[in-house]
């Protein structure tokens, strides 16, 4: 982490040299000077306009790899492990302000401009929050199966209960974990998804922090309208974006377009990859 004096010198130079980016640089100065943001793990591929991919809760940068791999042919893709996930650092704090600050600092470190953000679920909320921080730097945004509203905890309550049981009782045997999840009624695709973050008898995500801070993950504070193009992709079988959420979407993202992928659940990008890729290419390049 840069110290405050060095950051202040960088900011002053930037302010003199580029007045258009003043708002962004002042915000980044505030972020770094607070010494609260974290250095995130990330993966770079390709060249060209940057696309930043942000995963959902319990995930990692690999979760959107089926999209990033395709776009790396013509774009620079940046896949990010959000705090408390993957190989990024752990923290007791999980909220959208903190997570967005982490990503904003990464974008600054990588000197990214004209960014396209693509976020799924929790990552979609991080992307939407970033619209308030890096408004001049973000060109377009894609939000996959999440709305700018507050959700209830019940959606992942069973998963958290089983994970906390395993953590508290120091259960690290993979077969035993699978058996506990099956007994709790967690479906096979979800178990497979969760186990992608179980390596060498350890969870890559911070169960304790996610459980204690899950209310913040479900929460949402309305933001100022962001007027740039935004695409919302909704799984037809998912309950995360309902017709009732459309008012909240258009109030905060007036230039939003909503596409429904029929037959897909919450992990629409994994279940209907080719259809999602076609939607993305048509929208980004149309």
pLDDT over 90 for what percent of the chain? 85
Active-site residue flag, 37: no
Mean pLDDT of the 76-92 span: 97
What tokens does 255 get? 């230039």
Nearest CA to 55 among 77, 81, 76?
81
pLDDT at 12 over 60: no
Reported as a single tens digit per residue, the pLDDT across 98-118 is 999 999 999 999 999 999 999
Nearest CA to 268 among 124, 95, 128, 158?
124
Give the model's confidence band at 152: pLDDT under 50 very low, under 70 low, under 90 confident, else very high.
confident
In the chain the first and final C-alpha atoms are separated, in Å, by: 40
pLDDT at 21: 47
Active-site residue flag, 55: no
Question: Cα–Cα distances in Å, from 173 out to 87, 185, 198, 255?
Answer: 21, 19, 10, 49
Give the strand pairing for 202-203 and 198-199: antiparallel
Determine the Cα–Cα distance for residues 186 and 14; give it in Å rounded to an integer.
Answer: 51
Which one from 121, 129, 131, 238 is the annotated catalytic residue? 121
Count of beta carbons in the 10 Å neighbourhood of residue 272: 20
Give the model's confidence band at 18: pLDDT under 50 very low, under 70 low, under 90 confident, else very high.
very low
Which one from 55, 85, 120, 266 is the annotated catalytic residue? 266
Determine the Cα–Cα distance for residues 150 and 219; give it in Å rounded to an integer.
Answer: 5
pLDDT at 8 over 90: no
Give the model's confidence band at 37: pLDDT under 50 very low, under 70 low, under 90 confident, else very high.
confident
Query: What letter does residue 245 receive in the DSSP assignment?
Result: G
What is the residue-averaged pLDDT of the chain? 90
Give the model's confidence band at 22: pLDDT under 50 very low, under 70 low, under 90 confident, else very high.
very low
Nearest CA to 220 among 84, 96, 124?
96
Reported as a single tens digit per residue, the pLDDT across 164-209 is 999 999 999 999 999 999 999 999 999 999 999 999 999 999 999 9
**Phi-psi map region of 121: left, alpha, beta (phi>0 left; psi -120 to 50 alpha):** left
pLDDT at 266 over 80: yes
pLDDT at 61: 97
Q: What is the pTM of this model?
A: 0.88
Give the model's confidence band at 31: pLDDT under 50 very low, under 70 low, under 90 confident, else very high.
very low
Nearest CA to 261 among 235, 231, 238, 230?
235
Residue 237 φ/ψ, nearest 5 degrees: -100, 5
pLDDT at 153: 66
Determine the Cα–Cα distance for residues 196 and 60; give it in Å rounded to an integer.
Answer: 9
Contact present, 114 and 140 (Cβ < 8 Å): no
pLDDT at 5 over 90: no
Cα 59 to chain centroid, rounded: 9
């Amino acid at each position: 982490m840069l110290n405050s004096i060095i950051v202040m010198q960088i900011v002053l130079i930037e302010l003199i040299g580029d007045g258009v980016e003043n708002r962004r640089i002042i915000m980044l100065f505030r972020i770094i000077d607070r010494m609260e943001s974290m250095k995130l793990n990330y993966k770079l591929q390709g060249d060209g306009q940057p696309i930043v991919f942000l995963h959902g809760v319990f995930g990692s940068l690999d979760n959107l790899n089926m999209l990033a791999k395709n776009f790396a042919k013509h774009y620079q893709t940046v896949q990010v492990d959000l705090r408390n996930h993957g190989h990024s650092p752990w923290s007791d704090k999980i909220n959208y302000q903190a997570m967005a600050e982490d990503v904003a600092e990464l974008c600054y470190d990588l000197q990214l401009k004209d960014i396209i953000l693509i976020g799924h679920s929790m990552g979609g909320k991080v992307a939407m929050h970033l619209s308030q921080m890096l408004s001049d730097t973000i060109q377009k945004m894609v939000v996959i199966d999440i709305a700018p509203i507050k959700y209830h905890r019940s959606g992942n309550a069973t998963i958290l209960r089983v994970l906390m049981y395993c953590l508290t009782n120091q259960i690290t045997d993979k077969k035993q974990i699978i058996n506990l999840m099956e007994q709790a009624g967690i479906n096979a695709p979800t178990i497979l998804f969760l186990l992608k973050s179980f390596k060498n008898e350890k969870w890559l995500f911070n169960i304790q922090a996610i459980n204690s801070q899950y209310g913040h993950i479900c929460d949402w504070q309305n933001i100022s309208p962001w007027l740039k193009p935004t695409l919302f992709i909704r799984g037809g079988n998912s309950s995360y974006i309902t017709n009732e959420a459309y008012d909240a979407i258009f109030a905060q993202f007036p230039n939003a377009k909503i596409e429904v992928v029929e037959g897909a659940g919450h992990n629409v990008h994994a279940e209907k990859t080719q259809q999602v890729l076609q939607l993305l290419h048509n929208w980004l390049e149309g």
